Amino acid sequence: MNSGEMKFLVIGVVLALGAASIPIVSDGYWLSIATTAMMYIALSTSWTLFSGPTHLIALSTGAFFGIGGYLVGSGMSDYDQSFWLMAIIAPVVATILAMLIGLATLRLSGVYFVIFTLGLAEMIRNLVSWVQNNFLGSRGLYVLTDFTEAHIYWMLLSVATIVFLAGWLINRSRLGFALRIIGNDEQVARHVGINTAWSKVILFMTTGFFAALVGAIVAPRYSYIEPNVVFSPQLSFLVVIMALLGGIHRLWGPLVGVIPFTLIWEAISISFPNSTTLFLGLSFLLIVYFIPNGFVGLFENLTGRMRK
Amino acid sequence: MDILISGLLLGGTYALMAMGLNLQYGVARIMNLANGEMLVLGGLAAFWLFTASAISPLITALVVAPLAFAGNWLIYRYLLLPLVRRSKNQGQLEVDSILATFGISFALVGVMVSIHGEYITYSYLADPFSILGSTVALNRLVAFLAAATIGAALYIWLNRTYAGTAVRAVSVDTEAAGLVGINVDRISALAFALGGAVTAVGGTLISTFITLDASIGVIFTMKALIIIIMGGVGDIRGAIIAALILGLVETTVATVIDPGLTLAAAYVIFLAVLLFRPQGLFGRRTS
């Protein structure tokens, strides 16, 4: 470990400790915002693990998140299982699903993958609703736990920390190196003997795992789970926007995007609840045309210029 | 038999919207994910004119086509062409155009929700009609016939005229087309605008028998994409066959199992195509 990495590690530990103390100093409104932000930090950072180096826009977050939330709800109300057991099962299910999707689509051109994930959340929602209506009978799933908002926040913080550690380890590993080559030129990667399909599938599985884990942890926040709520296509897009806004070529990029966007999004959802979709669209356009490399890109441009 | 007929009728209308997206993706090389919103806009126009002044959707289609053409031309010229010029390679352009058209798509949904947040539904020619011993709604048949006419006209234009040949040349190879003196930017803009117009007219026709709403566009984008991939990108005949297959399968699933599962059925087809014929129904395997 060199001194640069040491510095990042120290900053990371300080930030994590600082973030861990938020529930002690505040509760109510700001804690709930912090919890939402922490959820998005974990989601967008794990999204970037896959989409950052490969440049494939995965729109599956909503689907995996929904699987996490729904399995916790279904396991606890329909089968009387504990929250913890379901929180372990759900990410495993999502990882297997991610593997199957990855194997089917990632061997081919990237566009097919994007299209496949585009309708995924909606399709799984349709399937789940159909199964529930025809075979299970009950519609409402209750997730009743003794967790407070602070507990959920701390759990999400731990997940986010693990995502960061995983990202750091992957970057240093052969897999991370392979993925960067694939992102730069897939043909070159194939010629030097990298199994491009499997490298992508493994990273996609990681993303699916974390998205479902976050979905499972957040489920007690809703307390009442309905397929229409947890399988939200909008979530997939929010995660993409936040990551791109921060910048996806650095591990800490999404973090920089999530915090301002969550605050703006909350403000808009409260003041102009009918304009959220329009705002989402304008944010996408703003990012593509004016900040294509995110805040991190802007920042690095600035410091680069100052050094000259 | 009922399923067969109404499935084919639905597929015919799907073919029209997929043809629009095929022009945009196959020729202009833009993966336009706002395509479904064009379709909904076409439907919304028909709904307005019909409920406000009882104008037949078939006449609305004539108004929608030039408007959508102009709108899509502007979108291509001022939003997408800068991206084409900026991108260094096809991969970069793909990512940028996906994100930009998502932006356009959400912005359009946002505008439509604020104008008309409820269902877009009206009753036009909802009379029973007997064909080959089974009964279908007249509006489905009329929409199918209109779609078939437009599709045939488009096919002839592409294959028999000078401009159509230029469009096909660009779809085969942009660089080579430029070398033989085709203005690639202009032809791309033309194909993109034409594709948008065709999709919007498809929306006008579909709205006569399917209930739309402001945010349903993405489902139609999905279906159009599945049709294009199944038929093979740029292959119009393939897209028509694929659209008919999708229409048939969807109608079968909706009637026999549950109407809520049509998207899942489309996904099953999509998965089968990706696993067994990723090059499209009539495409040849490359490399």
Nearest to B100 among A108, A279, A285 (CB): A285
Q: What is the pLDDT of residue B284?
A: 60
Amino acid at B135: T
What six digits make up the tokens of A199? 């490298």
Residue A159 in this model has a pLDDT that exceeds 80: yes
CB-CB neighbours of A275 under 10 Å: 16
- Would A63 be classed as within a structural domain? yes
Question: What average pLDDT does range A237-266 have in this prediction?
Answer: 88
Nearest CA among B287, B31, B271, B280 for reference residue A105: B271
Under the banding of pLDDT at 50, 70 and 90, the label for residue B71 is very high
Residue B286 in this model has a pLDDT that exceeds 60: no
Q: What is the pLDDT of residue B287?
A: 40
Residue contact A104–B260, C-beta within 8 A? no
Q: What is the pLDDT of residue A1?
A: 58
Q: What is the pLDDT of residue B184?
A: 85
What six digits make up the tokens of B103? 């932006």
Q: Note the maximum CA span of chain A.
A: 68
Q: What is the pLDDT of residue A213?
A: 93
Q: What is the DSSP string of A178-211?
A: HHHHHHH-HHHHHHTT--HHHHHHHHHHHHHHHH
What is the residue-averaged pLDDT of chain A? 85
Whether A274 and chain B come into contact, CB under 8 Å, resolves to yes
What whole-number distance in Å separates Cα of residue B73 and Cα of residue B199?
A: 14
- Would A53 be classed as within a structural domain? yes
Question: What average pLDDT does range A251-259 have in this prediction?
Answer: 87
Residues forming beta bridges with residue A224, ordered by sequence position: A142
C-alpha pair distances (Å), A198 with each of A106, A204, B286: 9, 10, 21
Match 């399968």 to its residue by tokens: B249
Question: What average pLDDT does range A196-211 have in this prediction?
Answer: 90
pLDDT tens, residue by residue, A231-251: 888 889 999 999 999 888 888
Coil/strand/helix, residue A125: helix
What six digits make up the tokens of A88? 């372990």
What whole-number distance in Å separates Cα of residue A283 and Cα of residue A277?
A: 10
Å from A15 to nearest chain B CA?
Answer: 31
Phi and psi angles of residue A17, each rounded to the nearest 5 degrees, phi first? -65, -45
Under the banding of pLDDT at 50, 70 and 90, the label for residue B5 is confident
A111: which chain B residues are within 8 Å (Cβ-Cβ)? 31, 94
Contact A252, A60 (CB under 8 A): no
Q: Which domain holds residue A170?
A: 22-233
- Would A140 be classed as within a structural domain? yes
Residue A92 in this model has a pLDDT that exceeds 60: yes
- Would A307 be classed as within a structural domain? no
Nearest chain A residue to B29, by CA: A111
pTM for the model stands at: 0.88
What six digits make up the tokens of B243? 């659209």
pLDDT tens, residue by residue, B17-27: 888 888 888 88
CB-CB neighbours of A299 under 10 Å: 15
Q: What is the pLDDT of residue A239?
A: 92
Q: What is the DSSP string of A50-104?
A: HHHHH------HHHHHHHHHHHHHHHHHHS---HHHHHHHHHHHHHHHHHHHHHH
pLDDT tens, residue by residue, B80-102: 888 888 887 777 888 888 889 99
The yes/no answer to whether this complex scores an ipTM above 0.95 is no
**Percent of chain A predicted with pLDDT > 90:** 17
Under the banding of pLDDT at 50, 70 and 90, the label for residue A294 is confident
Question: What average pLDDT does range A38-53 have in this prediction?
Answer: 90
What whole-number distance in Å separates Cα of residue A40 and Cα of residue A51?
A: 15
CATH topology of domain B2-276: ABC transporter involved in vitamin B12 uptake, BtuC (1.10.3470)
- Would A287 be classed as within a structural domain? no
Residue B104 in this model has a pLDDT that exceeds 90: yes
Q: What is the pLDDT of residue A95?
A: 93
CB pairs under 8 A between A and B: 115
Residue A109 in this model has a pLDDT that exceeds 80: no
Nearest chain B residue to A277, by CA: B110
Nearest chain B residue to A134, by CA: B258
Nearest CA among A111, A91, A56, A115 for reference residue A240: A56
The 3-state secondary structure of B98-125, one letter per residue: HHHHHHHHHHHHHHHHHHCCCCECCCCC
Question: What average pLDDT does range A82-90 have in this prediction?
Answer: 87
Whether A116 and chain B come into contact, CB under 8 Å, resolves to yes
Residue B105 in this model has a pLDDT that exceeds 60: yes
Half-sphere exposure of A67 (CA within 13 A, CB side): 26
Nearest to B270 among A116, A277, A292 (CB): A116
Half-sphere exposure of A165 (CA within 13 A, CB side): 8
